[in-house]
Chains A and B, each alone.
Chain A
Amino acid sequence: MPLIRLQDIWRSYQMAAETVHALRGVSLSIERGEYVAIMGPSGSGKSTMMNLLGCLDTPTSGTYELNGTDVSHRDDNELAEIRNREIGFVFQTFNLLARATALRNVELPMVYAGVSPDERREKALVALAAVGLADRVDHRPNELSGGQRQRVAVARALVNSPSILLADEPTGNLDSKTGVEILALFDELASKGNTIIVVTHEEKVALHSRRIVRILDGNIASDEQVRRVEGRESRFEGKPAPDPSA
């Protein structure tokens, strides 16, 4: 059973008089432990895709099964609970709470999960140590570098042990050196068995993943595995994408 199964997903928006179809019948399966990049130019529908995968939004039609349960038609509160339990977000602009310390930012998902303060603190410290920020726990975001902020965001995303780590242009606001560091962190997380989905338009970022899904005009244009050859990455052409209906 795949971790994520999208079947014939449509997402339409009513813009004034006309209906815009951001996604037109997308079907996709992602297995547990995969490291997938979703690529596409702006306006392709990849942001909509990411909102749907992250349960921030629901499809107009089609079904989205996450972990075997249909989550395509849940209400606001149910989606919040699913996000809290199943999904860890990493955003381009970090989206940390500016006035809270790194520790409190990482504790936040557990606040809404109802974890006791002591346990919260303990887990948050472990998560921060795992991203190499054990000595920065009491710093506020404005006292941290961009790379450190994104590490805090990663720690926050992972602290509730979600099924998916969902990253939206995670290196978009970082210089290339720290970007590489973050991607190295992602590689490490992937090798430990985390399921990671990265939404990006940068080829270099996408090449860190093992599978690249390209979206164009609201549909999947290609779905390819990445083959690694002696430390150099290149695409393995011709292997068919996993059939979502399988």
Chain B
Amino acid sequence: MNFLSELREGLFIAWDSLRANKLRSALTTLGIVIGIVTVTLMGTALAGLNAAFLKSISAIGTDVFFVAPWQWFSDEPWWKMRNRRPILLADARALVRQTTFARATTIDASRRMTVRYRDLSATSVNVSGTTEGGAEVGGLVLKEGRFLSAAEVEGARPVCVIGADIAANFFPYESPLGKHLRVEDQNLEIIGVLEKRGSFLGMASLDNEVMLPVTKFVSDFSFRPPVMIRVKVRDLKEMDEAREEIRGIMRKIRHLAPGVPDDFAINEQAAFIQTFDRMNSVVAGAGLFITSLSLFVGGIGIMNIMFVTVAERTREIGIRKAIGAKRRAILTQFLLESALICLLGGLLGLAFAYPITLVMDRFMPAALSASLVGIALLVSVATGVIAGFLPAWRAAKMNPVDALRAE
């Protein structure tokens, strides 16, 4: 009860003194405003980057295993891994045949090649061999036509499915279906066009692509190329069993004796996310540390002005103490005042930061989340309490006789 009435009184005084010193309060608050703006924007940017990454990475699919000789983001030195035997088509087909947890599988091999249509040509197109499962495993959506069939893969037919960029560049005014692309000395009939997919991690475009049966790719474009197997698991709950099964089959296919370490790797999306998270936490830590320095400077400004305020109001403190204010009451009064300044700064900072995040949203997914708003306000109040503590304590332990004598 007593504390409540002191609290109310403290709030009243704090508000009154802010109004009495408008310019000073505004200038002091500015430091906190800037601090909160930078911290909030940094937080929003980091969250945005994270969201952008996760969106991009979702192209990989959480339920897909990538079986290849090399591990993603491995700690093993590259010069050891580079000597691993490649996986060849026959091995891959054996694996695909034996695995039991798969909803769909595909075997891929690819090369950058030049693709022609009449007198047009495109260099460095990602020409990849795949199988009929490629559409399901990769989550491909067709804009026109159909994907490769099992029979076409089996018979190594000269057909292909093209990416959105190839279609747009070679066939701006007509349907590509039924036309023939020329890759090296082979003519490939276009049977399907993919929807636009964008890019992976902002680097490789996924639309600059020609897909054909892997059997055709192996026989005509590359001699014994290394392939990668992708296995989409039936059920996310079976990921662990599926991984173990694939591992067993692969060891058998590659004739690894017990005790010999795997010379292949079963990769999944989680590895990407793990690596990103590790990197992200370092960036986030460094970024927030640097921006929080500005908040720290703001806090010093608050401390400074609170010392001035306490000195100016020495007599008032004396009066209050003579009348019966305990240390706690005086301490609360000044802490509330500095917390209130900082809370106002936090609110103003958020008001400035909000339109900026709207602009940021044009370049990356950025949104001022409710939790970030809560944290920003909490941090500003905490800054006020911490910065105000020393001045408030000085006020609280003033001797009433001396304070009353002050002019």
Q: A80's contact among B9, B20, B319, B325, by CB below 8 Å, is which?
A: B325
A215 within 8 A of B: no
B230 within 8 A of A: no
Complex interface: chain B residues within 8 A of A144 (CB)? none
Q: Are A83 and B322 in contact (CB under 8 A)?
A: yes
Restricting to B294-329, which residues have a CB under 8 Å from any CB of A?
A: 315-316, 318-329
Q: Are A108 and B401 in contact (CB under 8 A)?
A: no
Chain A residue nearest in CB terms to B325: A112
Restricting to B333-355, which residues have a CB under 8 Å from any CB of A?
A: none
A245 within 8 A of B: no
CA–CA, A95 and B325, complex, Å? 15
Closest CB in chain A relative to B217 CB, distance in Å: 85
CA–CA, A141 and B301, complex, Å? 32
Closest CB in chain A relative to B327 CB, distance in Å: 6
A46 within 8 A of B: no
B6 within 8 A of A: yes
Given contacts A111-B5, A111-B6, contact A56 B16 (CB under 8 A): no
Q: Are A112 and B329 in contact (CB under 8 A)?
A: yes
Residues 76-101 of chain A, each 1 if its beta carbon lies under 8 Å from chain B, else 0? 11001101110001010001110100
Complex interface: chain A residues within 8 A of B327 (CB)? 76-77, 80
CA–CA, A88 and B25, complex, Å? 35
Given contacts A80-B324, A89-B323, contact A56 B6 (CB under 8 A): no
Complex interface: chain A residues within 8 A of B320 (CB)? 108, 112
B404 within 8 A of A: yes
Complex interface: chain A residues within 8 A of B318 (CB)? 95
Complex interface: chain A residues within 8 A of B394 (CB)? none
Complex interface: chain B residues within 8 A of A170 (CB)? none
The count of residues in chain B whose C-beta lies closer than 8 Å to any C-beta of chain A is 28
Complex interface: chain B residues within 8 A of A85 (CB)? 324
Closest CB in chain A relative to B403 CB, distance in Å: 10
Complex interface: chain A residues within 8 A of B323 (CB)? 83-84, 89, 108-109, 112, 156
Given contacts A81-B324, A99-B20, contact A115 B397 (CB under 8 A): no
Residues 172-191 of chain B, each 1 if its beta carbon lies under 8 Å from chain A, else 0? 00000000000000000000
Restricting to B381-401, which residues have a CB under 8 Å from any CB of A?
A: 397, 400-401
B371 within 8 A of A: no
A187 within 8 A of B: no
Closest CB in chain A relative to B240 CB, distance in Å: 64
Residues 112-139 of chain A, each 1 if its beta carbon lies under 8 Å from chain B, else 0? 1111110000000000000000000000
Complex interface: chain B residues within 8 A of A116 (CB)? 1, 5
11 contacts between A and B (CB under 8 A): A80-B324, A80-B327, A81-B326, A84-B324, A89-B322, A95-B318, A95-B404, A111-B9, A112-B323, A112-B324, A117-B5
Using a CB–CB cutoff of 8 Å, the interface residues on chain B facing chain A are: 1-2, 4-6, 8-9, 16-17, 20, 315-316, 318-329, 397, 400-401, 404
